[in-house]
Amino acid sequence: MMNSPFLRRWIIFLTSCLVLLGSIGAILDRRSAQAEATRGWELATEVQAMPYHQSTGGVNVELTQYAPDELDAQLQAIDGFGFTWLRQTVYW
């Protein structure tokens, strides 16, 4: 009876269905666990209200070389070129 090709095909089919159902169940369980673990997180690319892109240009400066009366003019010149941040080395 076990040598019947019909019975063998049904056993293979039923085993394949059980494996498929088990895999689907594992995938759904993993997705549920992932959703619970990351609840409250938002991807920046999916959020509608993206911030306006601002210029982030900067420049390295050595402001200690200027006298106090020249410093304002230099800072205004840097601002005039469109730089929005400065990096100054500070020796401790």
For residue 71, the enclosing domain spans 58-88
Provide the residue count of the chain: 92
- Which pTM was predicted? 0.42
Q: What is the pLDDT of residue 51?
A: 62
Q: What is the pLDDT of residue 65?
A: 92
Same domain, 1 and 34: yes
Q: What is the pLDDT of residue 39?
A: 84
Q: What is the pLDDT of residue 54?
A: 67
At 88 the three-state DSSP class reads: strand
Q: Is the dihedral of CA 82, 85, 87, 92 positive or negative?
A: positive
Tally the domains of the chain: 2
Whole-angstrom distance, CA of residue 91 vs CA of residue 49: 41
Q: Which helix (H) or strand (E) holds 43?
A: none
Q: What is the pLDDT of residue 1?
A: 52
Q: pLDDT tens digits for the chain (92 residues)?
A: 556 888 999 999 999 999 999 999 999 999 999 988 888 777 767 766 666 666 678 899 999 899 988 999 999 999 998 888 899 988 87
Q: What is the CA radius of gyration of the chain?
A: 33
Identify whether 5 is part of a domain. yes
Same domain, 3 and 34: yes
Whole-angstrom distance, CA of residue 3 vs CA of residue 16: 19
